[in-house]
Amino acid sequence: MYGDAFSDLAIADCFNTHFVPIKVDREERPDLDSLYMQALQLITGQGGWPLNLFLSPGDRIPFYGGTYFPVKPKYGRPGFLQVLQALQQFYTTRPEEIETVKSQILEGLQGAAAGLPVSDLSAELLQAGLAANVRSLKPAPVNSFPMIPQALAALRYARFESVEQPDRAYPLCLQRGLDLALGGIYDQVAGGFHRYTVDATWTVPHFEKVLYDNGQIVEYLATLWSVGVQEPAFERAIAGTVQWLQREMTAPAGYFYASQDADSFLSATAVDPEEGAFYVWRYTDLQSWLSESELRLLSEQFSISEAGNFEGANVLQRRQPGALDQSVEQVLSRLFAQRYGTSSQLEPFPSAEDNQTAKSTAWAGRIPPVTDTKMIVAWNSLMISGLAQATVSLNQQPYLELAGRAAEFILTHQWQNGRLHRLNYAGQPTLLAQSEDYACLIKALLYQIRIV
């Protein structure tokens, strides 16, 4: 919406005349994001991002909301200018109805804040909760999300052999690991996991890479390895993700950056970035870069076709588990060089911190997506936990050293005046930490204490 609706002059004029636009970074304020997401679910019955809410100016209670609004009507949704004009008219001519809607939403939010009634804990309740986590891992008909907290709970449930498990926890846990390590959700060329896939087959991802997903997935795959599932694809995915972390997501000071965008520019003259442009492969390009035998090797191991599986291009998805032959890895390294303009997978890769930098820099390879270089304590802590678990499972001391540098940064720089701070922008801590920051950091430090 930033690139289309919010940049439209007519929409901007309507906004500035009748509204006070406020942009909230949900990564900075997850508490507000949670509150407003509940409000949106009360209004529309579902949630999602981008999240647009309209509040009355006096009490700041929401009375209307939605997710994505296009510039022009499409996808069965009205154009954003139509929405703004209708809301302005509604607000000025029907104030009583506005108050009624606000009262209903406020009542719903207050009811949710009251929480669920307290009940006694029991073995039966524990088993029911664990079984619910198992069911959440069953294949979805559309989008496929990692669901790592649920997967870890289900994996622990699978260890209780004496408990009847009608939902078959272990096979689902194993399949989740295979889907992650073999699927298009994993960047098979350069490491790191995307957010989720837009299909049920784990093929085509939403291409954004976010630190908290990667930390949790590394922990999960390493945990699978530690319980005896020593699948080579898991080890490869962990190693590749750590390489991506070191190469593109680690600040000189030792902490980890927050995320990388899903879209990037095809050329310096392009007006808008395109989803997945940095990551996908057109068949004609593969034919021109690779020899016939190399392309055949790649096609035997990965889903590749002339038609492609994403807008005429190919997202690489492995056909089977197991170790990849060194000759195949060499072909993948050639694709890495085409993307990055270098054959070194360990050399630090500079970040594009905004679109202008991305377009104006003379990149040796493709124009990379923008990297959000802020440090978030909770997200760093999740990655520290993942690295610590991988250290134990795979006996990789360098993973612990990488985690230790990040933990040292947090303890040294984010604890100010007796309080933990959630964010760090270019060396400056800001915003008091929230409960998730404390919880994730405590878990990460306990992991490290266990190792030491």
pLDDT by residue (tens digit) across 93-113? 999 999 999 999 999 998 887
Indicate the average pLDDT of the chain: 93
**Torsion angles phi and psi, residue 413, rounded to 5:** -110, -25
Whether 275 and 359 map to the same domain: the answer is yes
Pairwise CA distance, residues 335 & 327, whole Å: 13
Whether 359 and 400 map to the same domain: the answer is no
* 358: number of Cβ within 10 Å: 21
Task: Judge whether 174 and 184 are in contact, CB under 8 Å.
Answer: no
Number of domains in the chain: 3
Joined together, the tokens standing for residue 69 give: 């609004």
Whether the pLDDT of residue 89 is over 70: the answer is: yes
Give domain status of residue 124, yes or no.
Answer: no
Token match 């694709």: residue? 335
Whether 324 and 351 map to the same domain: the answer is yes
Pairwise CA distance, residues 152 & 173, whole Å: 8
Pairwise CA distance, residues 178 & 91, whole Å: 52
Joined together, the tokens standing for residue 142 give: 């559309």
Percent of the chain with pLDDT strictly greater than 90: 80
pLDDT tier, 116 (very low <50, low <70, confident <90, very high otherwise): low
Whether 103 and 162 map to the same domain: the answer is no
- Long-range Cβ contact pairs of 284-288 (< 8 A, separation 24 or more): 285/338, 286/314
Give domain status of residue 154, yes or no.
Answer: yes
What average pLDDT does range 339-357 have in this prediction?
94
Give domain status of residue 238, yes or no.
Answer: yes
Whether 422 and 349 map to the same domain: the answer is no
Whether 278 and 395 map to the same domain: the answer is no
Whether 63 and 210 map to the same domain: the answer is no
What average pLDDT does range 291-296 have in this prediction?
97
Whether 286 and 398 map to the same domain: the answer is no
Whether 225 and 84 map to the same domain: the answer is no
Give pLDDT, residue 161. 56
Whether 283 and 399 map to the same domain: the answer is no
Q: Which of 335, 369, 403 finishes a domain? A: 369
Give pLDDT, residue 165. 56
Q: Which of 69, 92, 114 finishes a domain? A: 114
Whether 358 and 386 map to the same domain: the answer is no
Least confident of 111-120, 136-145, 337-346: 111-120
Give domain status of residue 328, yes or no.
Answer: yes
Give domain status of residue 132, yes or no.
Answer: no
Give domain status of residue 56, yes or no.
Answer: yes
What average pLDDT does range 9-13 have in this prediction?
94
Give domain status of residue 87, yes or no.
Answer: yes
Task: Judge whether 222 and 390 are in contact, CB under 8 Å.
Answer: yes
- Long-range Cβ contact pairs of 332-337 (< 8 A, separation 24 or more): 332/188, 332/189, 332/298, 334/289, 334/290, 334/294, 335/189, 335/281, 335/289, 336/189, 336/190, 337/365
- Domain of residue 189, residue span: 147-249+259-369
Q: Which of 91, 114, 137 finishes a domain? A: 114
Whether the pLDDT of residue 80 is over 90: the answer is: yes
Question: In 3D, which of 255, 198, 196 has the Cα closest to residue 376?
Answer: 255
Give domain status of residue 361, yes or no.
Answer: yes
Question: In 3D, which of 205, 160, 163 has the Cα closest to residue 185?
Answer: 205
